[in-house]
Chains A and B, each alone.
Chain A
Amino acid sequence: MKIDTALKTGANKPHLPIYLDYQATTPTDPRVVEKMLPYFTEKFGNPHSRNHEYGWEAEEAVEIARAQVASIIGADPREVIFTSGATESNNIAIKGVMRFHKDRRSHMITVVTEHKCVLESARHLEMEGVEVTFLPVRQNGLVDLDALRRAITDRTALVSVMAVNNEIGVIQPLKEIGALCREKSAYFHTDAAQAVGKIAIDVNAMNIDLLSVSGHKIYGPKGIGALYVRRKPRVRLEALIHGGGQERGFRSGTLPTPLCVGLGEACAIAEREMGAEAERLRFLRDRLLKGIEDGLPEVYVNGDLESRIPGNLNVSFAYVEGEGLMMGIKSLSVSSGSACTSASLEPSYVLRALGVEEELAHTSIRFGLGRFTTEQDIDYAIEQVVSAVRRLRELSPLWEMAQEGIDIKSIQWAEH
Chain B
Amino acid sequence: MAYSKELLEHYENPRNVGALDKTDASVGTGLVGAPACGDVMKLQIRVGKDGLIEDAKFKTFGCGSAIASSSLATEWIKGKSIDEAETIKNTQIAQHLSLPPVKIHCSVLAEDAIKAAIRDYREKNGVAPKKAEAAE
Tell me the A residues contacting B by CB distance below 8 Å.
319-324, 327, 338-340, 343, 345, 347, 357-359, 362, 394-400, 408, 413-416
Contact = CB atoms under 8 A, between A and B. Distances in A.
B38 interface: yes
Contacts, number: 86
A323 to B, nearest CB: 4
Given A394-B17, A395-B17, A398-B40, A413 B34 contact: yes
A340 B63 contact: yes
A358 B64 contact: no
Nearest to A339: B38
B35 A413 contact: yes
Contacts of B35: 358-359, 362, 398, 408, 413
Contact of B38 (A338, A395, A399): A338
The 4 closest A-B CB pairs, nearest first, are A359-B35, A362-B38, A413-B34, A397-B42
A339 B65 CA distance: 13
A400 B34 contact: no
A388 to B, nearest CB: 11
A416 B19 contact: no
Contacts of A320: 61
Interface in B63-93: 63-67
A324 B63 contact: yes
Nearest to A343: B102
Nearest to A324: B63
B75 to A, nearest CB: 15
A206 to B, nearest CB: 39
Contacts of B28: none
23 contacts: A321-B61, A323-B1, A324-B63, A324-B64, A327-B11, A327-B63, A327-B64, A358-B35, A394-B17, A395-B59, A395-B60, A397-B60, A397-B61, A399-B61, A408-B35, A413-B35, A413-B36, A414-B32, A414-B33, A415-B34, A415-B37, A416-B37, A416-B109
Interface in B11-35: 11, 14, 17, 19, 31-35
A15 B113 CA distance: 41
Contacts of A414: 32-34
A414 B64 CA distance: 22
A398 B39 CA distance: 10
B63 A321 contact: yes
Contacts of B14: 395
B108 interface: yes
Nearest to B11: A327
A311 B65 CA distance: 31
A400 to B, nearest CB: 6
B41 interface: yes
A345 B40 contact: no
Interface string B99-110: 000100100110
A362 B36 CA distance: 8
B11 to A, nearest CB: 6
Contact of A396 (B34, B38, B60, B109): B60
A327 B66 CA distance: 12
Given A324-B63, A327-B11, A395-B14, A400 B19 contact: yes
Nearest to A338: B38
A126 B80 CA distance: 59
A396 B59 contact: yes
A395 B105 CA distance: 20
A317 to B, nearest CB: 11
A322 B39 CA distance: 11
- Residue of A321, A357, A398 with most chain B CB atoms under a 10 A cut-off: A321
Contacts of B32: 414, 416
A81 to B, nearest CB: 39
A323 B63 CA distance: 5
Contacts of B61: 319-321, 396-399
A239 B19 CA distance: 64
Contacts of B112: 416
Contacts of A324: 11, 62-64, 66-67
Contacts of B3: 327
Contacts of B102: 343, 345
Contacts of B39: 321
A358 B63 contact: no
A323 B60 contact: no
- Residue of A319, A362, A395, A408 with most chain B CB atoms under a 10 A cut-off: A395
A321 B40 CA distance: 10
Contacts of A415: 34, 37
Contacts of A319: 61
A416 B32 CA distance: 8
